[in-house]
Amino acid sequence: MSDLESLEVTRVLIDGEVVAENGQVTFELEPFEFPEWVTHSMHLGMDIAPESFAVPVPDGAPNTAAHIRTIEVIPGKVGTKETHIDPPVIDGKLESDIGQDVLKTFVFERHHETGKFGYGFVKGFGIKRGAMASTVAHDAHNLLVVGTNDDDMALAANTLIACGGGMVVVADGEILGLVELPIAGLMDAVPAEELSEKVHGMEKAWAEIGCTMPSPLMTMALIPLACLAELRLTNRGLVDCTTFQFATLLAAQ
């Protein structure tokens, strides 16, 4: 490191060999041929359209209102808080509300063509438009989609389905940032410098739609991780990770 204050890494060694110096790798990797099943991992068993992101008013609530659980993310933290809000209801369906910083969130199972998915709402990203999707979604790495509107959510999801997985930010029908990860939806074989540039582009795209939190990609990727407190969302639905039981979207008043 250059010093113990900034902790800027200037050289990396593995087993006594210098493998990176001044931001550049110092070795070459031999090409590797990945089997087709590794590079074709998007198996949803369903088509994704804007209508796929309809969230009906939960049973037990009036058709015009609902008091629901949300997953509130905390900037720079892995934990979440369960908070309760009253989202807008239009034609018997719950909608995102940028005024309350609340966004629809879906997790689609993508490994076995089951067609199963879970849905809920997240709070705290601060975005004002668009949608985000990722197949880096711990631990099962299903297809995670978060957004302000159904059209952009469908575009984000279908963009990743088409490229074999990755991370994407879209807004107003336009792709603002995309990191293709066609190897199991988690990795790519391009040089590290090329992939790093794409990731930085994703961070700029997040900022462009209004998110100012640090490392939003990692924060989003942890939304389905059903071993961290307090509330998480999987393809099987909401999970209360303080009791390790499934939770209903409808909250008690």
Instruction: State pLDDT tens for residues 68-118.
Output: 999 999 999 999 999 999 999 999 999 999 999 999 999 999 999 999 999
**8 A C-beta contact, residue 238 and residue 120:** yes
**8 A C-beta contact, residue 206 and residue 132:** yes
Identify whether 21 is part of a domain. no
Q: Pull the structure tokens for residue 62.
A: 């009036």
Identify whether 158 is part of a domain. yes
User: Residue 187 sits in which domain range?
Assistant: 35-246
Please report which helix (H) or strand (E) contains residue 218, including its range.
Answer: helix 216-221
Q: For residues 132 and 124, what is the distance between their CA atoms, to the nearest angstrom?
A: 14
Identify whether 27 is part of a domain. no
Please report which helix (H) or strand (E) contains residue 220, including its range.
Answer: helix 216-221
The SS3 of residue 71 is: strand
**200 CB neighbour count, 10 Å cutoff:** 12
Q: For residues 139 and 221, what is the distance between their CA atoms, to the nearest angstrom?
A: 9
The residue with greater pLDDT, 59 or 186, is: 186
Identify whether 123 is part of a domain. yes
Identify whether 82 is part of a domain. yes
Identify whether 13 is part of a domain. no
- Whether 23 has a pLDDT exceeding 90, the answer reads no
The SS3 of residue 92 is: coil
Specify the range with the lowest mean pLDDT, choosing from 47-51, 134-138, 211-215. 211-215
pLDDT at 11: 97
**130 CB neighbour count, 10 Å cutoff:** 27
Q: pLDDT class for 46, splitting at 50, 70, 90? A: very high
State the average pLDDT for the chain: 95
Q: pLDDT class for 150, splitting at 50, 70, 90? A: very high
**8 A C-beta contact, residue 100 and residue 85:** yes
Q: Tokens 């209360």 — which residue?
A: 240
Count: domains in the chain: 1
Report the DSSP pairing between strands 102-108 and 143-147: antiparallel
Identify whether 30 is part of a domain. no
Summarised one tens digit per residue, pLDDT across range 155-193 is 999 999 999 999 999 999 999 999 999 999 999 999 888
Identify whether 89 is part of a domain. yes
Q: pLDDT class for 21, splitting at 50, 70, 90? A: very high
Q: pLDDT class for 64, splitting at 50, 70, 90? A: confident
Report the DSSP pairing between strands 68-73 and 117-123: parallel
Q: For residues 95 and 93, what is the distance between their CA atoms, to the nearest angstrom?
A: 6
pLDDT at 252: 84
What are the two backbone dihedrals, phi and then psi, of residue 134, each rounded to the nearest 5 degrees?
-160, 145
**8 A C-beta contact, residue 157 and residue 108:** yes
